[in-house]
Amino acid sequence: MNLEFKSRLYSLATAILTPVVLFRLAMRGLKAPAYFRRWKERFGIFPNPNFKKAILIHAVSVGEVNAAIPLIKALMEQYSDYDFVITTVTPTGSDRVQQIFSNQVFHLYLPYDLPGAVKRFLKKINPSLAVVMETEIWPNLFRFCKKRNIPIVVANARLSELSLKGYKWVQSLATMAVNNTKFVAAQTQTDAERMIRLGCDADKIYVVGSLKFDIIIEDEILVKGKEIHQHCANNLIWIAASTHQEDEKVVLEAYQYLKKKYPELLLIIVPRHPERFQSTAQACVHLGFNTQLRSKIGLYDIDADVFIVDSMGEMLEFYAASDIAFVGGSIANIGGHNVLEAAVFKLPVLVGPNTHNFAEITQLLHNCNGSRLVKNADDVIISMEELIKNPKTRTYMGNAAFKLVEENRGAVSLTMKLIANVLSNKPLNKDMQARKYVFKNIAEPEENNT
């Protein structure tokens, strides 16, 4: 079966599944009405912006947008004569783009990977470069970029073992897609090796580190964090961020014990998805906690047990206000969320065992003693008691976490060199050549959790 036939078969399957996707979108819209808005963009239907030359950046959701912010700002500074188009898939990603960049960029939802939708989208935008964050591999998008001579750089590329297995049913199309790229800027050697196993040409791959280490924290966020913490000066603040239901169940079970023993402890919960704000609040109230909401009272009062940040785009400010962090998606079998968003604020970090989306970064944080692994409520209680009783331990872990971030910055600069090669035909220097992936014979690994 040749690739052209497989591409047509894939496009047919995508078209057949589109009603299912739209139904799922509608179901999500019942809980998060933003999913009902601007749906025409998902079919490549939007007013033509008539850009003379543009750079396209795709970041699927809020986490990828946050990781892309330093790179986008560097691109906007260096290529100020370009227009910038940022696409996301989720409304939360869209909200974050609007919050950070406002009208400096043109935001769209990425169209579904249907030939007609992708062609309409590319014809109107006609970018000089497409930067795809992490590893969003869309065969038709990559194929039609290639046909229109639009170079693609995959930035901050990561590929978990689980994701790699998920591509097996479209292996040949995924291989074709990644080989339609100009460069792949991989986070780690492991990610590079998995890209090779996916079928990517080794000559395209450079190991540059994670953009997440280059996180930018504005002074305004630090000031707001200090104000939040001083609002009730006697509180010791524990933040549970980017949480899912399974994370919150364990955290709240531990907090029932901890709050009785340490009444000064305040728990701040930042659910990962806005459609869960209400159910999180109900779970806290059901357990008897005095539960207060960001949307209702602004800031917690002295009687609060649990404060829920039921708003978007404020997580970093509440990290800045906190003393201890738990990073969600890690007890829930989601694959973890970005622990560096806590580490950059010098917070000791608690994280669960399910971190395959951030395996290397989480392991680095464990290795430097910036974090503790917690698997259940008993583990959380043990670690929290140690941190509550020992301010010096909190400081030591927080400083170790922050040092890890500082020592690993630089991925933005290296990725910019790859992009400069594409846009300005500048040769890659010896520093970049040293980061080129060196092909070696890679055996299929045994089953593992990474």
- Asked whether the predicted pLDDT for residue 83 surpasses 90, the reply is yes
The reply to whether 224 and 105 lie within a common domain is no
On whether residue 82 sits in a domain, the answer given is yes
The DSSP code sequence of 365-387 is HHHTTSEEE--SHHHHHHHHHHH
The reply to whether 33 and 166 lie within a common domain is yes
Q: In a 3-state reduction of DSSP, which class is residue 211?
A: helix
Question: What CATH number did the domain enclosing 48 receive?
Answer: 3.40.50.11720
On whether residue 134 sits in a domain, the answer given is yes
Report, as an integer, the average pLDDT of 62-74.
Answer: 93
Domain that holds residue 167: 9-209+414-433
414 versus 30: the higher-pLDDT residue is 414
For position 437, what pLDDT does the model report?
74
263 versus 429: the higher-pLDDT residue is 263
What average pLDDT does the chain have?
Answer: 91
343 versus 26: the higher-pLDDT residue is 343
- Asked whether the predicted pLDDT for residue 439 surpasses 60, the reply is no
The reply to whether 428 and 326 lie within a common domain is no
Report, as an integer, the average pLDDT of 298-324.
Answer: 94
For position 442, what pLDDT does the model report?
42
Residues sharing a CB contact under 8 Å with residue 123, sequence separation 6 or more, in sequence order: none
Q: Residues 41, 64, 134, 193: which is the catalytic one?
A: 64
d(CA 372, CA 348): 8
The reply to whether 170 and 307 lie within a common domain is no
d(CA 359, CA 375): 16
Respond yes or no: is residue 341 known to be catalytic: no
- Our count of domains for the chain comes to 2
Cα–Cα distance list, 262 to 229, 300, 378, 387, 389 (Å): 17, 18, 16, 12, 10
pLDDT in tens, 331-389: 999 999 999 999 999 999 999 999 988 888 999 999 999 999 999 999 999 999 999 99
Question: What CATH number did the domain enclosing 398 receive?
Answer: 3.40.50.2000
Q: Rounded to two decimals, what is the model's pTM?
A: 0.85
Report, as an integer, the average pLDDT of 231-242.
Answer: 90
The reply to whether 114 and 189 lie within a common domain is yes
pLDDT confidence tier of residue 33, bands split at 50, 70 and 90: confident
The reply to whether 274 and 163 lie within a common domain is no
- Asked whether the predicted pLDDT for residue 149 surpasses 50, the reply is yes
The reply to whether 82 and 158 lie within a common domain is yes
